[in-house]
Structure 1
Amino acid sequence: MRVIMFDNSLSSRFLQSSLFLWMLSAGISFADRSTSSFVDARRQLWRSIEAASMTGGDRTQMGHRSRQWRAKAKPGRFVNDHMLARRQWNYLSSTKSPSIVGHWKELAKKLELNTMWPGTGRFANESFLLNTTEDFVRQEGYPVERHTVITSDGYNLTLHRIPYSKFQDPTIKRPVIIVQHGILCSSTDWVISGRNGSLGFILSDAGYDVWLTNTRGNSYSRNHLTLNPAQEPEKFWDFSWHEMGTIDLPNMIDYILEVTGEPDVGYVGHSMGTTMFYVMCSEKPEYAKKVRSMASLAPIAFLNHVKSPIMAFLASVADPLAWLCGVLGYYEFRPNGKLMLFAGKSFCESSFAPRGICDNLLFLFAGYDSKRLTNNVLPVILAHTPAGASARQLTHYAQLMKRDRWFGMYNYNKQKNLDIYGQVEPLAYDLNKVTMPVALYYASNDWMSTVEDVDVLANLLPNLKEKRLMPYPEFNHLDFLWATGIKMIVYDDLIRFMKIHDRKYLHVIENSEEIDKNVVSNESNKFEFE
């Protein structure tokens, strides 16, 4: 087995990322790896990487070996190697030529035509969904409204509202609460587990006016006033969760307050939904007075102890991958689930995950807990995720992983950073401006929001009221959405926290020993209400 050493040259980085992107795009499962077309293409790409770090003498030896292969070739094995090598040397001799862009764009087009990735249609486009968020809400007998928020930069965001519970008087005024999904997800995630297991219904029954929001680019928010994601992807997908925090979330809050006539909202975020909120508070601190309290499920700000194999791999190639995606036009993050198996191979081979888990990007990204996820909900989840995201969202997270205890803006390059930020390095977010009461809910088996990183975040939040560690060792990132018994494990305590800090609708609620016993471990209960 040969070990290939990579240098830091642009051509070597380009070819390394090319191989990775080709694997992501080709849609080939492990069963297909023995086919001649896959073997030939893989061999060609690996030779490109090897050649990029070779000296002139090395290339001469490689050419000699290629001639030896041809002389000793068995029929159907190495007969085409010399042709592949010759074409590759010709290609490598012109790596600085503008024709390289056209070459790889043509390859990307061919791969796109032969790739059956769900996000190109079914999952990342509402019109292809068998059931929408409205359908799930109506099936449970609850009222539902659909609203559209047009952001200041032209994106059309869909909001789903459950104005009141089917068990309560609709004429009574209710406090407003926003529930924001994480990356690759949508508002559907809050209603697919039924009335007793979905946060959307549980909050409604608890007396809230519930707004399930969707960020730009997901299944329900793929429209723009002037941009078409299919025809102008470079412009449409030109955003990260920074824009979601500085534009989407403030615009949605203003719209909701205008529609309801309320002075403030409560906020519940999961994963990226928490990141967006911290960004908003840092960059638009005036919105702190519009939020009564904030509950963070699997909070993400610092990412130095991430366990996700997908994120670890992306972090290792973050900068060249961002450049390569721009060259090839891969502005939406939409790899084939089967090809993510290459990066998540150890996870899938060591687990007893049901069929479909290892083919789904979300589970390889965040993890899977077979003990907590019910089988009847799993098919619905697989039919709605991934719900779409920009490549920059993932790259932005990958950049955080490469800096020690740093939570900051997107790192473009020195010149663009200077143009945008006024300095060579991107700016850091100021968590001291997250001034409303905050509760953190996290788990020891979370691949993304680890205990160590949550501790760093907790020490920087000025008004942290609760810090709750889940009592189950297997509890992970996605269990905050779909775990069996999630109401008793998390949501009952979350509602208790939210109601204590409701300003206009103050409820006097005593701490429940039964809830505390089931929700939190004793050692994690470090923060008490003031």
Structure 2
Amino acid sequence: MKTIIRSLNGYPVEEHDVITEDGYILTMFHIKGKRKQPVFIFHGIADSADIFIIRGKTSLVIVLANAGYDVWVGNARGNKYGRRHVKLDADKHLDFWNFSFHEIGVYDLPAMIDYILQHTGEKKLQTIGHSQGTTTHYVLLSQRPEYNKKIELFIALAPVAFLADISPPVSTIAQFGPMLSEAFKSIGVEHVFPEKSPVTNFLRFVCSQDILSYEICFLLSGFYLVGFDTKRFEPEFLKVFIGHYPGGTSRKNLMHVNQLVFNKRFCEFDYGPKGNLDHYTYLVPPDYNLYKVTAKVALFVGENDALSKVKDVEIQRMMLPNIVYYHIMEDKTWNHIDFTVGNDMNVTLFPYIFKLLEKYK
């Protein structure tokens, strides 16, 4: 289904509904370009397609559209654009939230990729992922390796697979992850970081009214966890950002990420010894095999990134068989969210992306 929903910087934006193999209905946004080969962009955890447009004229989507690219922006199940299902009600059925980044990689990504290729008539596309948007790519390309042939180039921004080098405060919070997860589970809370909640609404109100200082709002919003960088994340933009983030995800998804910290492996969801035997016939969950990711991959990492640490990305670099580019951002203050909303992306990051898109097309 296709609908023209609005004009964005002078471009008509199409809205497409994509149905996954297991029944989730996801919204994709499309700006039609002159170039044939499509570029697909995918967001990180509890995020949405909004993250790639909220910087306006210097946002990735608009800059690509201005250059004539055929741009598609996806959404994962559980965020504000992925709350529909052919049978389940997100507000009534807890089963709706029984997913982690595994299902997003195995079901959501292939559904959107196949839809784009079918709609455009192209055989391949280029993809750009941020944070968990890279994790889900790795899941897809290792679990369903036939999709390596459908991706001409995968640009991984702040890529996340191994979380062995995580340090405080993220590692400290991770220690409490299992306890918090069980507490939420015991009271039937499976939807976490929803777009609208009393806490989120309160934070948006007090920060938009300048009741609290920029530093306190930044602290309360949790963004400091990914690396503090006021140079690229100015006070005025914080109000815009919290108006679009978070977008929602599942408790299980957060728990899966938390397990990567404890297991120090990039592996499937850990259900415990008995549950693992039932699910995998092994006592421990199997690893995602990055050696099967044969598509061309370009890695970008920031030294001030508290989630996608350089040492952990180096492990990816050693295991991925087809790395065509590896780049550590020049400015040592560059953090996790600078890759999506940094105020100078158009001059510090995008030129590298454009060169790669042109070289591998």
Q: Same fold (TM over 0.5)?
A: yes
Are 2:221 and 1:360 equivalent residues in the alignment? yes
Higher mean C-alpha deviation, range 298-307 or range 366-375:
366-375
- Evaluate the alpha carbon distance shift between residue 364 and residue 394 of structure 1 in structure 2; reply closer, same or farther with a 3 A threshold: farther
- Secondary structure at the aligned position of 2:219 is classed as coil
- Evaluate the alpha carbon distance shift between residue 442 and residue 414 of structure 1 in structure 2; reply closer, same or farther with a 3 A threshold: same
Q: Deviations over 1:61-85 (max 9, x none)?
A: xxxxxxxxxxxxxxxxxxxxxxxxx
Partner of residue 142, structure 1: 11
CA distance in 1, matches of 2:173, 2:189: 15
**Aligned positions, number:** 344
**One-letter identity of the residue aligned with 2:324:** K
Deviation at 1:332, TM superposition (A): 1.4
Partner of residue 51, structure 2: 189
Is the 8 Å Cα contact of residues 100 and 252 (structure 2) preserved in structure 1?
Answer: yes
Alignment of 1:12-91 (within 5 A): none
Are 2:359 and 1:500 equivalent residues in the alignment? yes
Partner of residue 157, structure 1: 26
Deviation at 1:364, TM superposition (A): 4.2
**One-letter identity of the residue aligned with 2:253:** Q
Deviation at 1:314, TM superposition (A): 4.2
Partner of residue 374, structure 1: 234
**One-letter identity of the residue aligned with 2:123:** P
Deviation at 1:338, TM superposition (A): 7.0
CA distance in 1, matches of 2:168, 2:353: 26
Q: Deviations over 1:310-354 (max 9, x none)?
A: x42442134344333322212112398979xxxxxxxxxxxx844
Is the 8 Å Cα contact of residues 442 and 468 (structure 1) preserved in structure 2?
Answer: yes
Alignment of 1:478-517 (within 5 A): 478-502=337-361
- Secondary structure at the aligned position of 1:259 is classed as helix
TM-score by length of 2: 0.90
Which structure has more relative contact order (CA 8 Å, sep 6+)? It is: 2
Alignment of 1:303-322 (within 5 A): 303-307=163-167, 309=169, 311-322=170-181
Partner of residue 175, structure 1: 37
* 2:77 alignment partner, one of 202, 216, 224: 216
Is the 8 Å Cα contact of residues 214 and 235 (structure 2) preserved in structure 1?
Answer: no
* 1:278 alignment partner, one of 138, 150, 154: 138
CA distance in 2, matches of 1:365, 1:179: 24
- Evaluate the alpha carbon distance shift between residue 247 and residue 399 of structure 1 in structure 2; reply closer, same or farther with a 3 A threshold: same
Is the 8 Å Cα contact of residues 160 and 211 (structure 1) preserved in structure 2?
Answer: yes
Deviation at 1:355, TM superposition (A): 5.1
Identity, in percent, stands at: 37
Are 2:184 and 1:325 equivalent residues in the alignment? yes
Partner of residue 388, structure 1: 248
- Secondary structure at the aligned position of 1:143 is classed as strand
Are 2:288 and 1:426 equivalent residues in the alignment? no
Are 2:336 and 1:477 equivalent residues in the alignment? yes
CA distance in 1, matches of 2:193, 2:343: 29
Deviation at 1:454, TM superposition (A): 0.8
CA distance in 1, matches of 2:173, 2:250: 14
CA distance in 2, matches of 1:353, 1:476: 18
CA distance in 2, matches of 1:373, 1:319: 31
- Evaluate the alpha carbon distance shift between residue 323 and residue 227 of structure 1 in structure 2; reply closer, same or farther with a 3 A threshold: same
- Secondary structure at the aligned position of 1:427 is classed as coil
Deviation at 1:403, TM superposition (A): 2.2
Deviation at 1:305, TM superposition (A): 1.6
**One-letter identity of the residue aligned with 2:29:** H
**One-letter identity of the residue aligned with 2:344:** G
Partner of residue 10, structure 1: none
Partner of residue 85, structure 1: none
Partner of residue 204, structure 1: 65
Report which of the two structures shows the higher radius of gyration computed on alpha carbons.
1
CA distance in 1, matches of 2:311, 2:344: 26
Partner of residue 206, structure 2: none
Deviation at 1:184, TM superposition (A): 1.6
- Secondary structure at the aligned position of 2:283 is classed as coil
CA distance in 2, matches of 1:184, 1:337: 17
Please list every run of 5 or more consecutive structure 1 residues that lacks an aligned counterpart in the other structure.
Answer: 1-132, 165-171, 340-351, 503-530
CA distance in 2, matches of 1:285, 1:486: 32
Are 2:97 and 1:228 equivalent residues in the alignment? no
**One-letter identity of the residue aligned with 1:334:** F
Is the 8 Å Cα contact of residues 36 and 122 (structure 2) preserved in structure 1?
Answer: no
Give every structure 1 segment of 4 or more consecutive aligned residues whose post-TM-superposition deviation is greater than 6 Å.
335-339
Please list every run of 5 or more consecutive structure 2 residues that lacks an aligned counterpart in the other structure.
Answer: 201-212
CA distance in 1, matches of 2:137, 2:47: 16
**One-letter identity of the residue aligned with 2:37:** P
- Secondary structure at the aligned position of 1:468 is classed as strand
Deviation at 1:359, TM superposition (A): 2.7
- Evaluate the alpha carbon distance shift between residue 321 and residue 280 of structure 1 in structure 2; reply closer, same or farther with a 3 A threshold: same
**One-letter identity of the residue aligned with 1:153:** D
**One-letter identity of the residue aligned with 2:276:** N
CA distance in 1, matches of 2:83, 2:298: 32
TM-score by length of 1: 0.62
CA distance in 1, matches of 2:36, 2:118: 15
- Evaluate the alpha carbon distance shift between residue 318 and residue 378 of structure 1 in structure 2; reply closer, same or farther with a 3 A threshold: closer
Deviation at 1:395, TM superposition (A): 1.0
Deviation at 1:356, TM superposition (A): 2.6
Partner of residue 327, structure 2: 468
